[in-house]
Amino acid sequence: MERAKILVVDDESRMRKLVKDFLTREGYIVLEAEDGMEAMDLFYEDKDIALIILDVMMPKMDGWQVCREVRETSKVPIIMLTARSEERDELQGFELGVDEYISKPFSPKILVARVNAILRRTLGAVGNDSLEAGGITIDKSAHIVKIDGTPVELSYKEFELLTYFIENQGIALSREKILNNVWNYDYYGDSRTIDSHIKKIRHKLGKKGKYIETIRGIGYKFCLLYTSDAADEL
């Protein structure tokens, strides 16, 4: 199996070296960029980039701008690094399609664990695993979602979240359980991250968004037998 290629974008050379050293030990090929413009040049030149680790505050073109531009043409997973840990910034990142959000300072080992988890899912899918529920079809290996045969664009994390719901139909899932299973690690941020993702998924599913029910005091449940007394609010 070919070694996955990761683009690390940070204006601090010491931070790039630290991340590169840990990723290289894991067997990854690492490309480096010191600002957003250089990152976009590399991204357009190399079509084999499997994941981007992206700092927010950078000269010439910041991380938010890079994320927006990448998302116009690609679903490549993005891990955002930032020295700011405000909830507003984190939610903005997820709205733009960021898959993971890590605040500095962070443990390089945790970063590597998250990289491994994402690439295990995006590159390690084998076979033609598919799910179907109420006209929603998920092709796990191809990472495609269709609603009554029509493709729907979901971010990486939205795809993982919807898949988890359908795999656990009829089960009331707490926010903690969702975070631990979908985000694949102990998440210490605000659980409203889940609410933000679910709101977007419901919108993209249209009428079928009602299958994701809010269970007061618990979390959420995917159920084809929609009950009107289940809370619709976020």
pLDDT tens profile 169-194: 888 999 888 888 887 655 555 567 88
Q: What are the pLDDT digits (tens) for 61-98?
A: 989 899 999 998 888 999 998 876 556 666 666 777 88
Q: Strands 5-9 and 49-55, how do they pair?
A: parallel
Domain of residue 204, CATH code = 1.10.10.10
Is the CB of residue 147 less than 8 Å from the CB of residue 203?
A: no
At 147, is the secondary structure helix, strand, or coil? strand
Q: How many domains does the chain have?
A: 2
Q: Is the CB of residue 82 less than 8 Å from the CB of residue 56?
A: yes
Under 8 Å between Cβ of 80 and 90: no
User: Does 132 have pLDDT greater than 50?
Assistant: yes
169 and 105, same structural domain?
no
Q: Are the beta carbons of 82 and 104 closer than 8 angstroms?
A: yes
- Do 113 and 151 reside in the same domain of the chain? no
Q: Say what the pLDDT of residue 231 is.
A: 42
Note if the pTM is more than 0.75: no
Residue among 23, 109, 101 nearest 55 (CA) = 101
Q: Is residue 234 part of a domain?
A: no
pLDDT tens for 25-42 read: 888 999 999 999 999 999
Q: What are residue 178's phi and psi, to 5 degrees?
A: -65, -45
